[in-house]
Structure 1
């Protein structure tokens, strides 16, 4: 059966604004020595094999070479502990690329899966601020960027992953110590936006 998921997401990495990895389609190197990007996805609606996924949150922790297109990514997955066994297995299959779609292309770059766990996750959005806490492993907050003198959040368009339009953002809280991947990079890059995928 097909799957479809939609909701909101945000990410944070140690690159300076604006991250060249995402905006170049992974063809330009990160500004940091390695990319330790963490992505949080909150699902508002969708199903996988007919199983409702509304309300679930998934967080991907990634450690990759400076040029992400080289592959060899190390990836760990967290799903909120409200997920049933069926939901957890389905989301792990989607985000590992086993169910096709855009994540199948991403999975070709993964060299090592570091694990998949269900843990308490708190995901919240308030105006331009996006926050996620994953147990004791991740505490991350970004704020969408408004250029001085402007009235609207700055965005980049024409993107392919993970959404076509991304709001530029800056981290205001940054702590990741998950699956052996560590990042503490306040003041660096972030993106946010709605997503909608299907396969």
Structure 2
């Protein structure tokens, strides 16, 4: 199977800005007892073994231990309801790591799959604000961070050299809204917590 995807991603977690997991390659303890993180991806253009998956979104939720490198992650996968059966299958293989590529790095850390659902996903980029709504389950908006000295139109803050599936360079962001309700028995409000944003280009 050969495939390639290009798009953007946003992330929201329950850590403070900036989260220790991201900056330590998953080896430093998170700020709270569990690490709960949502990754939302929008594929601007992509092809998976001949299946066009352009303009589709996928969201991955992870509930992991405080030190994420210890593994035993509980993972849920949400696939865009607008995807047809072929697209859903193709996206599921890529974002679960079954098709290789960046997400496969996390496969050994997964201790259980909470579920796979096809739900409406509304993914939006609006300047320096980025949002994803996942059915009635997850609602996130993050805002890129700028040093106050530069003013609101200054350069956004970033991290480089990261061990991260989306990109080695991430924008530092803070959630202006980050809620979950009934996500396999989990509900939360992480508003004000850590966020990241980045373009991604993957192939395998």
Give TM-score, length-normalised by structure 2. 0.95
Q: Which segment is superposed worse, 68-77 or 160-169?
A: 160-169
Provide the C-alpha distance between the structure 2 equivalents of 1:25 and 1:145, rounded to a whole number of angstroms: 22
Deviation at 1:79, TM superposition (A): 1.0
Cross-structure match for 1:138: 138
Provide the C-alpha distance between the structure 2 equivalents of 1:136 and 1:74, rounded to a whole number of angstroms: 20
CA-based RMSD of the aligned residues comes to: 1.0
What is the DSSP-based 3-state SS (H/G/I as helix, E as strand, rest coil) of the residue aligned with 2:22?
helix
Provide the C-alpha distance between the structure 2 equivalents of 1:4 and 1:182, rounded to a whole number of angstroms: 34
2:168 is equivalent to residue 164 of structure 1: yes
- Asked whether the 8 Å contact 1:62–1:181 carries over to 2, the reply is no
Deviation at 1:53, TM superposition (A): 1.0
Deviation at 1:189, TM superposition (A): 0.4
Cross-structure match for 2:177: 173
Provide the C-alpha distance between the structure 2 equivalents of 1:183 and 1:4, rounded to a whole number of angstroms: 34
Alignment of 1:49-128 (within 5 A): 49-128=49-128
Alignment of 1:140-155 (within 5 A): 140-150=140-150, 151-155=154-158
Provide the C-alpha distance between the structure 2 equivalents of 1:181 and 1:65, rounded to a whole number of angstroms: 15
What is the DSSP-based 3-state SS (H/G/I as helix, E as strand, rest coil) of the residue aligned with 1:94?
helix
1:33-90 deviation digits (Å, cap 9, x = unpaired):
1011001000011111111111000011110000000000000011111101011111
Deviation at 1:183, TM superposition (A): 2.3
What is the DSSP-based 3-state SS (H/G/I as helix, E as strand, rest coil) of the residue aligned with 1:27?
coil
Deviation at 1:148, TM superposition (A): 0.5
Where structure 1 has 5 or more consecutive residues not aligned to the other structure, the ranges are none
- Asked whether the 8 Å contact 1:63–1:181 carries over to 2, the reply is no
Question: How many residue pairs are counted as aligned between the two chains?
Answer: 199
Where structure 2 has 5 or more consecutive residues not aligned to the other structure, the ranges are none
- Asked whether the 8 Å contact 1:129–1:141 carries over to 2, the reply is yes
2:195 is equivalent to residue 190 of structure 1: yes
Give TM-score, length-normalised by structure 1. 0.97
**After the TM superposition, which parts of structure 1 deviate over 3 Å for at least 4 consecutive aligned residues?**
none
